[in-house]
């Protein structure tokens, strides 16, 4: 009974358009066969709802023109999940040459991330008689232009304006980093945010080590992650030794006097005693999630966990990222990202050394040019 009451309470506290999205997600989770029927219904160029709206809205004047697209992320999920679905809408907008309409994030993060800056809200479009067209599920999540089902629907509305296309609930692109420059412009365009480095007097090379462990959200929504033997928990929560090994490699490359290791996690310090082996180590445990996120973003070197929180902070950051792989999204392997294969028996030390050496050399060149 309490579960039903919690669900009803959550529903009424949700802003639109997240309410209707939550209902659809819950129904399709309980009755998967309905999902296929709904997808088939949306796959038709003109379903009954859209035909009615086309004729009905011709009698009304909207102040907007053009073709927009949005994604309604899972409002009650963790930040990584929410941003992955949100960013998929932005990726589709870029690849399909449509205007992106902003859908709000959960209140805790919405203004902080600044992603709605200079972008029209999907809710304002919905409230002003814009024709809304829900898109079916696509197997070409990262390349929507290759999906004939999606392209046929979008082309069918070429001469109708204004139109707002809405991605299928849960549509999620495997490749997330193609919009990184847009995300950075929005994030860094906000007023200065606090970080743990704000009062540092000595300018060191700040190395953020984000150790993902079960937090309060997991305890409430993903209790299976509390079992250390659960396969999903093992994939998400890498052993402390992995992070310690990477940090010790970094100590070999960079002058110890220039390093500050900053450990971010939600566990007690007694669990992290082995990290006292490192030079200049500080612990930021159970801190405000937003300040933690921004502190990771503002770091020079990021040793990250296989989590969406880590990955999104890494995408926005201009620092050097060391990320475990494989993961459930693609991970870049370039001058900003060092993709470490965690299926190897040992960490690829040579790869880390080459990556950090190149990063430090490029950093020094940029400082000289500046």
Crossing angle between the packed helical segments 79-96 and 180-188, to the nearest 10 degrees? 120
């960079």: which residue's tokens? 254
255: how many CB neighbours lie within 10 A of its CB? 10
Which 8-state DSSP code applies to residue 15?
P
What gap in Å lies between CA 337 and CA 49, rounded to an integer?
46
Q: Which two tokens stand for residue 196?
A: 């743990």
Over residues 232-238, mean pLDDT: 78
CA gyration radius for the chain?
Answer: 23
Q: What tens digit of pLDDT does each residue of 87-124 get? A: 999 999 999 999 999 999 887 899 999 999 889 999 99
With beta carbons less than 8 A apart as the criterion, state whether 88 and 172 touch. yes
Q: Which two tokens stand for residue 158?
A: 């070429």
Fold of 205-369: Rossmann fold (3.40.50)
Run of H or E residues at 84: helix 79-96
Q: Which two tokens stand for residue 25?
A: 């997600």
What gap in Å lies between CA 88 and CA 96, rounded to an integer?
12
What gap in Å lies between CA 304 and CA 95, rounded to an integer?
29
The residue ranking higher by pLDDT, 368 or 205, is: 205
Q: What tens digit of pLDDT does each residue of 264-303 get? A: 999 999 999 999 999 899 999 999 999 999 999 999 999 9
Q: What tens digit of pLDDT does each residue of 145-170 get? A: 999 999 999 998 888 889 999 999 99
Report which of 129, 153, 145, 163 is spatially closest to residue 56, judged by C-alpha positions: 129
What gap in Å lies between CA 255 and CA 260, rounded to an integer?
11
The residue ranking higher by pLDDT, 71 or 58, is: 71
Alpha-helix runs per DSSP H in 226-348: 231-236, 240-253, 289-297, 308-316
Angle at 82 between CA 78 and CA 87, to 5 degrees: 150
pLDDT band at 50 (very low <50, low <70, confident <90, very high): low
Where do the DSSP E strands lie in 135-253? 163-166, 205-210
Question: Tell me, what's the pLDDT at 229?
Answer: 72
Q: What tens digit of pLDDT does each residue of 9-22 get? A: 565 667 778 888 88
pLDDT averaged over every residue in the chain: 87
With beta carbons less than 8 A apart as the criterion, state whether 179 and 94 touch. yes
- DSSP assignments along 311-332, one per residue: HHHHHH--SEEEEEES-SS---
């028996």: which residue's tokens? 345
What gap in Å lies between CA 168 and CA 92, rounded to an integer?
12
pLDDT band at 129 (very low <50, low <70, confident <90, very high): confident
Ranges of each domain in the chain: 2-188, 205-369
With beta carbons less than 8 A apart as the criterion, state whether 81 and 308 touch. yes
Run of H or E residues at 337: strand 337-341
Say whether pLDDT at 357 is over 70. Answer: yes
What gap in Å lies between CA 354 and CA 350, rounded to an integer?
6
Say whether pLDDT at 54 is over 60. Answer: no
Percent of the chain with pLDDT over 90: 58
- Would you give the end-to-end CA distance of the chain in angstroms? 63
């Amino acid at each position: 009974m309490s579960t039903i009451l919690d669900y009803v309470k959550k529903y009424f506290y949700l802003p639109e358009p997240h309410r209707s999205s939550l209902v659809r997600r819950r129904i399709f989770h309980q009755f998967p066969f309905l999902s296929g029927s709904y997808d088939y219904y949306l796959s038709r160029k003109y379903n009954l709802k859209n035909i009615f709206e086309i004729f009905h809205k011709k009698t009304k004047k909207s102040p907007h023109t053009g073709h927009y697209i949005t994604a309604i992320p899972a409002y009650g999920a963790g930040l990584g999940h929410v941003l992955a679905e949100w960013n998929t809408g932005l990726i589709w907008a870029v690849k399909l040459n449509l205007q992106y309409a902003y859908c709000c994030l959960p209140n805790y993060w919405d203004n902080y991330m600044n992603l709605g800056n200079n972008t029209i809200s999907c809710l304002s479009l919905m409230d002003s008689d814009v024709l809304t067209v829900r898109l079916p599920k696509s197997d070409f999540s990262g390349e929507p232009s290759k999906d004939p089902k999606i392209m046929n629907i979008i082309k069918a509305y070429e001469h109708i304006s204004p139109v707002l296309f809405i991605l299928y609930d849960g549509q999620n692109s495997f490749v997330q980093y193609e919009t990184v420059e847009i995300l950075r412009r929005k994030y860094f365009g906000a007023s200065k945010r606090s970080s743990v480095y704000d009062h540092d007097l000595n300018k060191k090379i700040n190395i953020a080590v984000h150790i993902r462990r079960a937090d309060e959200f997991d305890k409430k929504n993903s209790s299976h992650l509390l079992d250390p033997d659960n396969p999903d928990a093992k994939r998400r929560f890498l052993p402390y030794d992995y992070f310690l090994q990477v940090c010790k490699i970094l100590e070999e490359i960079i002058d110890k006097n220039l390093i500050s290791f900053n450990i971010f996690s939600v566990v007690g310090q007694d669990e992290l005693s082995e990290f006292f082996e490192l030079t200049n180590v500080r612990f930021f445990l159970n801190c405000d999630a937003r300040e933690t996120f921004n502190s990771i973003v503002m770091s020079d070197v990021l040793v990250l966990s296989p989590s969406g929180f880590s990955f999104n902070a890494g995408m926005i950051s201009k620092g050097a990222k060391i990320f475990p792989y494989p993961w459930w999204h693609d991970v870049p392997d370039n001058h900003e990202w060092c993709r470490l294969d965690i299926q190897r028996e040992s960490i690829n030390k040579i790869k880390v050394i080459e990556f950090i050496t190149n990063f430090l050399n490029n950093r020094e060149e940029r400082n000289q040019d500046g």
